[in-house]
């Protein structure tokens, strides 16, 4: 079991790279909303590659996590802005993005420095994205929305479902990350991050299906 967990953790990046490669291949043909989730996927792939290189070199790659939390969140907010712009005032998502950006920068400078696991910022990010994704589910269930976005509706559902499942399932990992690192055995941590890796793979599998089903220009 320990060996299987190690394999899952080590190769969890493959769905990210596969989805990013597919995104690059069809990017010019994607409709506007899908292009914006594409930016997030491509950014995540770059972070994943650099993180893996640092990990193999036994260098601290946690500064990349702090960058990923900030930029990744802003890219997802940008995606949701284009999905929800007709159903949610722009100032709502803009305010969330600004407040979170200020908080996570201060947190990374003064509290959970860039060389440590930014558990608080990750947890708040997860909670915000869970709330936004639930609101998006409610919007997408509307019959008028289904009619207006008949070609895109299934794709958006897949993308939104991936985000919801990943951040909801990983919230415990994010919140208790520092506690597990400091007070629990390496084996327990391995199983915990194996669970996180599985949900990451689920999210990018949903992204891939969403892009595949997306209407092309």
53-64 residue pLDDT tens: 998 898 999 999
Residue 61 CB neighbours (<10 A): 17
Q: What is the DSSP letter of 60?
A: -
Of residues 190 and 123, more confidently modeled: 123
Find the domain containing 108 and state its range: 2-213
In tens, the pLDDT along 134-165 reads: 999 999 998 777 777 777 989 999 999 999 99
Token code pair at residue 136: 């998006």
Q: Which residues contact 205 (CB under 8 A, 6 or more apart)?
A: 15, 19, 162
What value does the CA radius of gyration of the chain take, rounded to a whole number of Å?
17
Token code pair at residue 10: 């080590």
> Both ends of the chain: CA-CA distance in Å?
46
The answer to whether the predicted template modeling score (pTM) of the entire model surpasses 0.75 is yes
What average pLDDT does the chain have?
Answer: 90
Tell me which of 91-95, 157-161, 180-184, 189-193 is least confident: 180-184
Domain tally, the chain: 1
CA dist., res. 187 & res. 18, Å (int) = 29
For residues 214 and 30, the answer to whether their CB atoms sit within 8 Å is: yes
């Amino acid at each position: 079991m320990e060996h299987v967990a190690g394999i899952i953790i080590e190769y969890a990046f493959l769905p990210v790279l596969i989805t990013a490669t597919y995104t690059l291949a069809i990017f010019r043909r994607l409709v506007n909303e899908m292009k914006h989730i594409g930016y997030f996927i491509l950014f995540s792939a770059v972070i994943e590659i650099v993180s893996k290189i640092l990990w193999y070199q036994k260098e601290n790659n946690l500064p990349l996590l702090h960058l990923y939390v900030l930029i990744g969140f802003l890219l997802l907010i940008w995606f949701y802005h284009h999905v929800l712009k007709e159903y949610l005032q722009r100032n709502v998502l803009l305010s969330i993005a600004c407040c979170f950006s200020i908080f996570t920068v201060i947190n990374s400078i003064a509290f959970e420095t860039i060389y440590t696991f930014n558990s608080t910022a990750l947890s708040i990010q997860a909670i915000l994205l869970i709330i936004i994704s639930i609101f998006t589910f409610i919007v997408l269930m509307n019959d008028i929305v289904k009619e207006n976005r008949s070609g895109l509706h299934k794709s958006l559902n897949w993308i939104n479902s991936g985000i919801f499942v990943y951040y909801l399932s990983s919230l415990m990992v994010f919140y208790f990350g520092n506690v597990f690192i400091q007070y629990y055995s390496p084996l327990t941590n391995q199983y915990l991050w194996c669970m996180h890796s599985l949900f990451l793979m689920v999210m990018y599998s949903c992204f891939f299906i969403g892009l595949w089903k997306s209407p092309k220009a």
